[in-house]
Amino acid sequence: MAEKSPVRLQGLRAPVVALAAPEKQTVININSHRELIAKAKEIARRVQAAPGFSGMFLANPVLALEAYGIHLNPEMQHHVLTTLRHPPKLRTRREELEAKLKESLGDSVKPTDPAWMAGLVFKLRKMKPRAIEGLQPAYKPALNATAIARLQAARPKAVPRYPEQRHFTTGFSLTVAPENPALRRMDLDAPLPDLAPAAKPQATLTLEQAWFYKDDPVVHDAVELGQIMRRGFPFRTPAEFREIAKGARVDAFRSFVRAVRLKAPAPK
């Protein structure tokens, strides 16, 4: 199938070419991990037959499989995305927190939604608003003191470059840029500062703002879950996926990855 004509986006030096979708084939419904493994050879064959679209697996593997005629049920969609989004340790902790919060709240858990987080803090947990404007949470250092001392000791000693006496003094200074606070290093074990009461509750709370209410155990778990969710691989939404595929949206993976190869399982 011939590729569509290039779509030129303003500000780009080179045109972004819309990807040709794979040819439509018989839809295969996948309802379990066992079925996914059983169809691995057929999935690999379909991807190999239309490799030009395979780079979209990095945008969203579930939607890319749909394009190749592989339909996953909701449970399998969740399984695939969560498995690829986090390493095993974080994935296990995320599942623990999700189960714990659903048991406590009995509702969908959306800690990265500022409106949902504010509702959790002020309505469900009935916490009093606190004056937190202009304050920053505590963050763990990027390198601990032991690591810094070890690296400092490993630095080679300065030696004179020229053996003769110098007729003027030289100086050298090395400074380190201040750390940029990262959400993943927000310290949930650090003590809270003394906070004055606020006049009224906020309509929204970011994860950084919700940190100041972490003395409530449910809020603490919600903030930790939000940290893990924000650290996950950012798969694209259906609308973003379509725009990237047709060349209407610039995507880093689309720019550098031309194809993804799926290795078919070896015959038993």
For residues 80 and 187, membership in a common domain is answered with: no
User: For position 11, what pLDDT does the model report?
Assistant: 44
Q: Kindly state the percentage of the chain with pLDDT values over 70.
A: 82
Are 3 and 20 spatial neighbours (Cβ–Cβ below 8 Å)? yes
- For residue 121, give the nearest of 230, 224, 209, 229 by alpha carbon: 209
User: For position 95, what pLDDT does the model report?
Assistant: 92
Cα 83 to Cα 67: distance, rounded to the nearest angstrom: 20
Band of residue 131 on the pLDDT scale cut at 50, 70, 90: very high
Name beta bridge partners: 16.
7
For residues 126 and 195, membership in a common domain is answered with: yes
* 262 in a structural domain: no
For residues 73 and 31, membership in a common domain is answered with: yes
* 17 in a structural domain: yes
Supply the pTM of this predicted model.
Answer: 0.70
Better-scored residue on pLDDT, 46 or 255: 46
For residues 211 and 127, membership in a common domain is answered with: yes
Cα 50 to Cα 21: distance, rounded to the nearest angstrom: 8
Cα 74 to Cα 92: distance, rounded to the nearest angstrom: 19
For residues 217 and 117, membership in a common domain is answered with: yes
Beta strand segments in the chain, E: 6-7, 16-17, 28-30, 70-72
For residues 226 and 129, membership in a common domain is answered with: yes
pLDDT at 13 over 60: no
For residues 48 and 13, membership in a common domain is answered with: yes
Domain residues for 11?
A: 6-85+234-256
* 67 in a structural domain: yes
pLDDT at 3 over 80: no
User: For position 15, what pLDDT does the model report?
Assistant: 57
Beta strand segments in 25-174, E: 28-30, 70-72
Residue with tokens 């309505």: 123
pLDDT at 17 over 50: yes
User: For position 74, what pLDDT does the model report?
Assistant: 95
User: For position 155, what pLDDT does the model report?
Assistant: 77
Characterize 29-38 residue by residue with b for buried, 16 or more Cβ atoms within 10 angstroms of its Cβ, and e for exposed: ebeeeeebee
Mean per-residue pLDDT for 27-38? Answer: 95
* 154 in a structural domain: no
Residue 204 to residues 25, 61, 116: CA-CA distances in angstroms?
46, 32, 8
Per-residue pLDDT tens over the stretch 139-172: 988 766 677 778 777 877 767 676 776 666 666 5
**φ, ψ of residue 16 in degrees (nearest 5):** -95, 120
For residues 217 and 120, membership in a common domain is answered with: yes
For residues 53 and 67, membership in a common domain is answered with: yes
For residues 44 and 125, membership in a common domain is answered with: no
Per-residue pLDDT tens over the stretch 171-218: 655 555 566 778 889 999 999 999 999 999 999 999 999 999 999 999
**Direct distance between the N- and C-terminal alpha carbons of the chain, in angstroms, rounded to an integer:** 34
Are 19 and 53 spatial neighbours (Cβ–Cβ below 8 Å)? yes
User: For position 267, what pLDDT does the model report?
Assistant: 63
* 132 in a structural domain: yes
- Give 197's contacts (C-beta < 8 A, 6+ positions apart): 128, 129, 130, 131
Are 244 and 254 spatial neighbours (Cβ–Cβ below 8 Å)? yes
Residue 92 to residues 99, 136, 265: CA-CA distances in angstroms?
11, 29, 27
Mean per-residue pLDDT for 105-111? Answer: 88
For residues 191 and 124, membership in a common domain is answered with: yes
User: For position 5, what pLDDT does the model report?
Assistant: 47
For residues 36 and 137, membership in a common domain is answered with: no
Cα 175 to Cα 140: distance, rounded to the nearest angstrom: 21
**φ, ψ of residue 143 in degrees (nearest 5):** -125, 135
The number of distinct structural domains making up the chain is 2
Write the Ramachandran bin of 81: left for phi over 0, alpha for psi from -120 to 50, otherwise beta: alpha
pLDDT at 46 over 60: yes
Residue type, 162: Y
